[in-house]
Structure formats: C-alpha cells, structure tokens
C-alpha cells in the first residue's frame, strides 16, 4: 500500500510540473519583462527646474591644455574657461544657458588657445522619458538638440560627440584637444 501511495504522489507531482511548465505567460507578464529589459528611465520634469552649474567635462583621454606636463581627463582641471557655464530651466518651459568655447586658432602663430566665454543663449526645453529636448534660438534660427541624460538627485549629465563638441572647442585639427572623441558633461544643481 505504501508503494502505491508513493507512486500516486510521484505521478501527481510529475503531472503538476508538466501542466505548470506548459503554461504560456500572459500579455502582462510579457509587457513587464519588456519594460524591465529596456531599463526605461522616466525623469520628472519638475526635478529639472532650477539653476545648474557645469561641474565636470570629462574627456575620453588625458588632456594637458595648460602645458604643465600633467594631463587630466576632466578638462575643468586644465582651464578656467568653462567655469561660468551653466543652465537654468524655468517652470514655463524656457531656459537660459551661459556657454564658453576654446579657440585654438589664437596667438601670433595661431597655435595658442583663448577662452571665449560668457555667451548667453535662450530657448525652450522639455523632458521626454530620459531625453532632454532643447530648442535653442541663435540668430533667429531654432536648433533642436535631444540628449539622453543620466539624472541623480542634484546632478544630470550627457555625452557630447566629437561632431557636437565644436560648440565648445574651435579646433584646427592639431591642438591639445584634437584627439578627444567624446566628452561627458555633468551639471550640479546650484538652487
């Protein structure tokens, strides 16, 4: 009798495993898996409102702009040119930004750099999931820039490609910064 009970129990457990194993996931299970696989980040628009100061401009390689023999990946450790850079996002969807640019075509031989700082630009902004959308007006023309951002409580950042870096660096192609392919910029909340 004991063997019959064990055999019956084993058969029941085996049948249960087969039945449960053959069940297909429902649509909600599939959607939940898809969302978790994409790691979609939704950034709260209200969390962006305020004043932000540039605190890191990380290059993908060492740079020695000040010719002291010590290179840094954070360009802010090599020059004060970008110290005034920041952005203020207003609740009404507008923004103001102060920008700077390094010009490597300066000096008597055109091989020195000069900081061109203090340019103020204005435009509109919005957040779409994890993307910052800036509509910047320059000389009566609107330029749209979309950046996937990384956001922490009091910091946000994004990558700038070699092509996009021309807004920060006027490089003739043989300067201290010519080899930089990507910059990672980070802003920290001021208020």
CATH 2.40.50.100 applies to domain 45-189: no
**Collapsed DSSP state (helix, strand, coil) of residue 32:** helix
Q: What is the pTM of this model?
A: 0.72
The position carrying tokens 């004060």 is 80
Assess whether pLDDT exceeds 60 at residue 130.
yes
pLDDT digits (tens, 9 = 90+) for 55-79: 999 998 898 888 899 999 999 999 9
Domain boundaries along the sequence of the chain = 2-38, 45-189
pLDDT digits (tens, 9 = 90+) for 161-190: 877 766 656 666 767 667 777 889 999 999
Can you point out the beta strands (E) in the chain?
Answer: 50-63, 72-74, 86-89, 94-106, 112-128, 131-138, 141-148, 150-151, 155-161, 169-170, 182-189
Side-chain-side CA neighbours of residue 184 (13 Å): 10
Q: What is the pLDDT of residue 62?
A: 92
Assess whether pLDDT exceeds 60 at residue 15.
no
Assess whether pLDDT exceeds 60 at residue 39.
no
């Amino acid at each position: 009798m004991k063997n019959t009970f064990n055999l019956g129990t084993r058969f029941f457990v085996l049948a249960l495993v087969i039945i449960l194993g053959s069940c297909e996931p429902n649509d909600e299970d599939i959607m939940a898996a898809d969302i978790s696989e994409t790691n979609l980040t939704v950034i709260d628009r209200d969390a962006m409102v305020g004043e932000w100061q540039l605190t890191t401009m990380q290059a993908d390689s060492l740079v020695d702009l000040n010719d002291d023999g010590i290179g840094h990946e954070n360009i802010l450790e090599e020059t004060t040119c970008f110290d005034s850079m920041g952005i203020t996002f207003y609740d009404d969807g507008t923004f103001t930004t102060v920008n700077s640019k390094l010009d490597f075509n300066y000096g008597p031989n055109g091989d020195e750099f000069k900081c061109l700082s203090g340019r103020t630009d204005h435009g509109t902004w919005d957040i779409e999931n994890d993307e910052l959308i800036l509509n910047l007006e320059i000389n009566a023309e609107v330029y749209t820039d979309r950046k996937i951002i990384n956001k922490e409580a009091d910091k946000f950042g994004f990558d700038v490609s070699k092509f996009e870096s021309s807004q920060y660096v006027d490089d003739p192609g043989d300067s201290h910064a010519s080899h930089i392919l990507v910059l990672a910029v980070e802003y920290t909340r001021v208020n």
